[in-house]
A and B are shown apart, each in its own frame.
Chain A
Amino acid sequence: MHGWTGKILKVNLTDKTTEELRLPPDVYLRNIGGKGLSGELLLEHFRHSWDDPQMPLAFMTGPLNNTSSPTSGRMTVMSRSPLTGAVCDASVGGKMGTVLKRAGYDGIVMTGKSLDWCGLSISETGVSFGNAAHLTGLPISEIHTQLAADPVMKNGAHAMIGPAAENGVRYAAIVFDGHYFAGRGGLGLVMAEKKLKFISVNGSLKTEVFDRDELKAAQEEIFRLVSASPMLTGDLGITNYGTGALYDLMHSRRMMPTNNFRQTYFEHSPSMNAYAYKKQYDTRKFGCAGCHILCKKVGAKGEIIPEFETMSHFSALVGNSDLDVVVEANRICNEAGMDTISAGVTLATYAEITDQTLSTENFLQLLENIASGQGEGVALGQGALRFATESGQPQVAMVSKGMEFPAYDPRGAQGMALAYATSTRGGCHLRAYPIAHEILRKPVATDRFSLSGKARIIKISEDMNAVVDSLTACKFLFFAASLEEYARALNAVTGMQTSAQELLKLGERIYYRERIMNARNGFAVNDDDIPARFFEESGSSSETILIAPLKRSEFLEERAAYYRIRGLDEQGLPTAEKCAELGLSC
């Protein structure tokens, strides 16, 4: 095959055995890779609890990995979330996706549970298991240094979990190459449950490309659009300022979640924006293998500059106005290997329930306690909803399906309300990302203060992003390019003859399958919702911008429309007819 290696590594961690899975070509064509292929392989396991040894953890690349297709070096990690119980997949950057292909595999599917902490080493010449007890308790940077020092793994890629996962934090992440996070939903805890501390991969194999000239032409089309994108490569775009470039926009649109979403405006924001970080830390850029945008930023002294969500939640959401504290809080989470969004919302929930504004010392100490599983940190490590429920105030947790909301208040971009609600993994902005059109004007602007007509847009966007995550491309690129250009790249690499709209049809099937996974675990209409706060309380309006509560009736109307468009019944459950149309079993 062109594009794919045709081999998936199956690993049983209980008895330390491996085998190679070779799927028929049509399975690849229907699922592409990444999110799609992971879903195909994991569907039948989705009745297992997240901590059942039979519940797989999948790493999956796509056909564009290890080719010159722009920003296509990502991969998917998928399992069932310890935080939500729902399907959980994360698109992760770095170089693991590329290197795994070089080692000869399209992906890894891991089941079982090791007796002791172990590590997995993969190369084109073989697979081996090693003891990893010596890495427990260490911060991520130290683990990465040790793994990277292995001469066999020189220039290799490394996935690892940190202390947060070891200590049972339900939003523990898997960290790749020291900096790139499969961040949300607790996938790190799934890895910890299997007693798998790290995965190291090395390889030098090439990926066969069907038509190199055509790929070059597709690449040029994509680069041209990227150059034309102010959001990506513009003077104020993420190539210069990182994802933090969004911070000023959220502030000026009065939709920055503040004090646990009780307000939407943080007065200190102008001095805590991406420019402030650039100036204070003299930042330079770095990024994923094969990417020319380089959205990540590091300070002159090696300080990792937070991403937008972290910048926002570790300032406005918890009431912190000290830039250094944001950077330090980010460092604590990075070194522990835990999701900053969930950590931020959980601490904001704690602050509201305990009726206090967190001091900077308390804020940092609580993060340390969560990571190390000490004191109140144990309860806070269970996430906002569990903590709030234990405290008798579940309504204070700003979550959907138990996953904490990122830094976009839905009252300031109303499509986000529906997107949070219908997201298969819970309170996530990345499934439909209506911010693209409601705020960033891409592909064109829509009315951010209206839900009308958004159901279909959300559905199409979910399908599109399911394809993007299956191609294992970067979502940022789709602020500029579209599936039209990526279909050309995919065809060039694989020899397929697909189109943008045909890919959307595959995306529809991939996304619907996740609805099936969740339905099998009891998720239904009541889970496709957002907290009452957004319907009952106003945000922080200005003289010219009114941040009003969402209208519950309009939300319910649009959610019902979404179900009809998606082919779900009134309870949000899959239907036999739609399953048959998509070639899926309910």
Chain B
Amino acid sequence: MLKLLIKYEQKLVEHGLCASGTPLVGGVNDVVIWNREDPLSEELEKIIAGLNINSLIFARPVEPFFSILNYLARHSDTEFVPEDTETRTFLHSIPVARSLTATEIIPLLQKRKGCVVAGHGIISFGTVSPEQAFVVFSSIIFSAFVKFFVDHAYAQQVGAPDPEAKKMLPEVLAAYDQFLPGHAEAELVTGDFSNPGDIVRAMIQAGQATVNARMVDSFFGNISYFANDTVYISQTGSSMDELESCIDACPLDDSACTGITASSELLAHRDIYLGGSNRAILHGHPKFSVIMSMLCFEKDCKNRGKCHIKCDKPRFVDDIPVIPGEVGSGPRGLSNTLPPAVQGRRGAIVYGHGVFTVGQKDFRDAYASLAEIEALCRNFYLKIISASN
């Protein structure tokens, strides 16, 4: 258990979400253990005692996330509700506690997987592994970040930006630059691959590069390669930086269900391959791409509020289509909307969700496109808010 606690402490730091030595990660079997000693653990153990859980993370995120969370906490009553896919599908809402006390936090965590503690940080828990707590922690940061920028752009557009947000913006952007790695380029192996071992190695490398470039949060995102009439795809809930033993080989004819643990986007990946000459797909959640996908200034749109499933207008960021679609293969799933959108293009952005990019031989093009689309979206965003200043 201690090994797991330390692993997720390190991941919080390596992903740039927390400063070294700050996360507190607790695990419970019949007794509670911590990754390190801390005076706060006494209060946190009261929280653990009040819940049926097996792990808990408390940490203060680095800037700009800490300031953004505190801003949203100040501007919320009991919770805030981002409208990105992470929140819509998994978090539902993000509760806010005003003090780091068990009495205030337990009722919030009885209902939700994590909460913001104003002025302190984030608390999240798991019931089978600290990985769940890590995922929720990371998702809260992602969703809050997206909400801050989306809300600000809309407010700016109508000429009523919140002065506090406006004042924060330069510092937030500067801190976000610090969060990002110095350069997004990565040396990826060249294709065509046909040997399963080469395919898996290429996928592991591209997945790691995507995480290193901070274009994906927690364990979300996925990656696949098509060869030998088989889609090689990352497993559901696998971390892009831990893909070893987490890639399923799914034959096109479905002659084996081994890929039942494959990513929920298997169907979308498969149909992209069947609809063109692509061999590689990379899916990440770069933040400004998600933010830009959620900015639509169409007036009096009948689908407002349901853009994620009902948007019927052709939308683009430069040459990149923005499409509706929910996670997976349901009637409103992106398995229906994504494959046609990607045909003949380098990628597409799914509303509130993330970016899918393709490559014809290996992951170099897909990776480069992911980085370019994110840079493009960031530039567009900055233009939007400066134009309406």
Does A273 contact B260, Cβ atoms closer than 8 Å? no
Measured between beta carbons, the chain A residues less than 8 angstroms from B109 are 501
Taking a contact as CB atoms closer than 8 A, the residue among B88, B126, B259, B331 that contacts A236 in the complex is B259
Does A236 contact B29, Cβ atoms closer than 8 Å? no
Tell whether B388 is near chain A: CB-to-CB under 8 Å. no
Does A487 contact B260, Cβ atoms closer than 8 Å? no
What is A's interface to B at a CB cutoff of 8 Å? 221, 223-231, 233-237, 240-241, 244-249, 252, 270, 273-275, 437, 439-446, 452-453, 455-457, 460-461, 463-464, 484-485, 487, 499-502, 504-505, 508, 561, 564-565
Residues 350-372 of B at the A interface (beta carbon under 8 Å): none
Q: In the complex, A37 Cα to B323 Cα: how many Å?
A: 47
Does B52 contact A463, Cβ atoms closer than 8 Å? yes
Interface centre among A247, A456, A464, A508 (most CB of B within 10 A): A456
Does B128 contact A437, Cβ atoms closer than 8 Å? yes
Question: Considering only CB atoms, which chain A residue lies closest to B332 in the complex?
Answer: A227
Interface centre among A226, A241, A499, A561 (most CB of B within 10 A): A499
Measured between beta carbons, the chain B residues less than 8 angstroms from A561 are 29-30
**Taking A230-B262, A444-B237 as contacts, is the C-beta distance between A453 and B54 under 8 angstroms?**
yes
Tell whether B329 is near chain A: CB-to-CB under 8 Å. yes
Question: Considering only CB atoms, which chain B residue lies closest to A457 in the complex?
Answer: B128
Measured between beta carbons, the chain B residues less than 8 angstroms from A504 are 52
A240 to chain B, nearest CB (A): 8
Nearest 10 CB-CB pairs, A to B? A227-B330, A501-B110, A228-B327, A228-B328, A499-B110, A504-B52, A561-B30, A227-B328, A245-B257, A499-B111
**Residues 7-30 of chain B: 1 if any A CB is under 8 Å from the residue's CB, otherwise 0?**
000000000000000000001111
Does A241 contact B257, Cβ atoms closer than 8 Å? yes
Taking a contact as CB atoms closer than 8 A, the residue among B131, B257, B333 that contacts A249 in the complex is B257
Question: Considering only CB atoms, which chain A residue lies closest to B106 in the complex?
Answer: A501
Tell whether B139 is near chain A: CB-to-CB under 8 Å. no
Does A564 contact B30, Cβ atoms closer than 8 Å? yes
Taking a contact as CB atoms closer than 8 A, the residue among B29, B52, B92, B219 that contacts A501 in the complex is B52
Does B256 contact A273, Cβ atoms closer than 8 Å? yes
Q: In the complex, A564 Cα to B250 Cα: how many Å?
A: 43
Measured between beta carbons, the chain B residues less than 8 angstroms from A445 are 129, 131, 237-238
Taking a contact as CB atoms closer than 8 A, the residue among A225, A234, A249, A505 that contacts B89 in the complex is A225
Measured between beta carbons, the chain A residues less than 8 angstroms from B54 are 453, 456-457, 460
Does A233 contact B257, Cβ atoms closer than 8 Å? no
Measured between beta carbons, the chain B residues less than 8 angstroms from A464 are 127
Q: In the complex, A244 Cα to B51 Cα: how many Å?
A: 35
Tell whether B258 is near chain A: CB-to-CB under 8 Å. yes
Tell whether B267 is near chain A: CB-to-CB under 8 Å. yes
Tell whether B289 is near chain A: CB-to-CB under 8 Å. no
Taking a contact as CB atoms closer than 8 A, the residue among A225, A460, A505 that contacts B53 in the complex is A460
Taking a contact as CB atoms closer than 8 A, the residue among B107, B131, B250, B264 that contacts A229 in the complex is B264
Does A228 contact B257, Cβ atoms closer than 8 Å? no
Does A252 contact B258, Cβ atoms closer than 8 Å? yes
Measured between beta carbons, the chain B residues less than 8 angstroms from A234 are 260, 262, 264, 266-267, 328-329
Does A484 contact B235, Cβ atoms closer than 8 Å? no
Q: In the complex, A439 Cα to B237 Cα: how many Å?
A: 12
Cβ contacts A to B, 29 pairs, < 8 Å? A225-B89, A226-B330, A227-B326, A227-B329, A231-B261, A235-B270, A240-B254, A246-B257, A248-B256, A248-B258, A249-B257, A249-B258, A249-B260, A274-B257, A440-B260, A443-B127, A443-B132, A444-B129, A444-B131, A444-B132, A460-B53, A461-B128, A463-B52, A484-B113, A501-B109, A501-B111, A508-B52, A561-B30, A564-B30
Q: In the complex, A247 Cα to B250 Cα: how many Å?
A: 15
What is B's interface to A at a CB cutoff of 8 Å? 1, 4, 27-30, 51-54, 88-90, 92, 107, 109-113, 126-129, 131-132, 135, 219, 235-238, 250, 254-264, 266-267, 270, 326-333
Question: Considering only CB atoms, which chain A residue lies closest to B333 in the complex?
Answer: A227
Q: In the complex, A361 Cα to B237 Cα: how many Å?
A: 45
Q: In the complex, A42 Cα to B262 Cα: how many Å?
A: 43
Question: Considering only CB atoms, which chain A residue lies closest to B88 in the complex?
Answer: A224
Measured between beta carbons, the chain B residues less than 8 angstroms from A565 are 29-30
Q: In the complex, A224 Cα to B264 Cα: how many Å?
A: 12
Does A456 contact B29, Cβ atoms closer than 8 Å? yes
Q: In the complex, A424 Cα to B63 Cα: how many Å?
A: 50
Q: In the complex, A229 Cα to B328 Cα: how many Å?
A: 7
Question: Considering only CB atoms, which chain B residue lies closest to A436 in the complex?
Answer: B128
Taking a contact as CB atoms closer than 8 A, the residue among B90, B111, B267 that contacts A500 in the complex is B111
Measured between beta carbons, the chain B residues less than 8 angstroms from A442 are 236-237
Taking a contact as CB atoms closer than 8 A, the residue among B52, B53, B235, B267 that contacts A441 in the complex is B235
Does B111 contact A487, Cβ atoms closer than 8 Å? yes
Measured between beta carbons, the chain B residues less than 8 angstroms from A244 are 257
A535 to chain B, nearest CB (A): 21
Does B258 contact A437, Cβ atoms closer than 8 Å? no
**Taking A221-B92, A453-B27 as contacts, is the C-beta distance between A275 and B128 under 8 angstroms?**
no
Question: Considering only CB atoms, which chain A residue lies closest to B233 in the complex?
Answer: A230
Measured between beta carbons, the chain A residues less than 8 angstroms from B89 are 224-225, 228
B318 to chain A, nearest CB (A): 29
B52 to chain A, nearest CB (A): 4
Does B127 contact A453, Cβ atoms closer than 8 Å? no
Does A275 contact B132, Cβ atoms closer than 8 Å? no
Does A275 contact B254, Cβ atoms closer than 8 Å? yes
Measured between beta carbons, the chain B residues less than 8 angstroms from A446 are 128-129
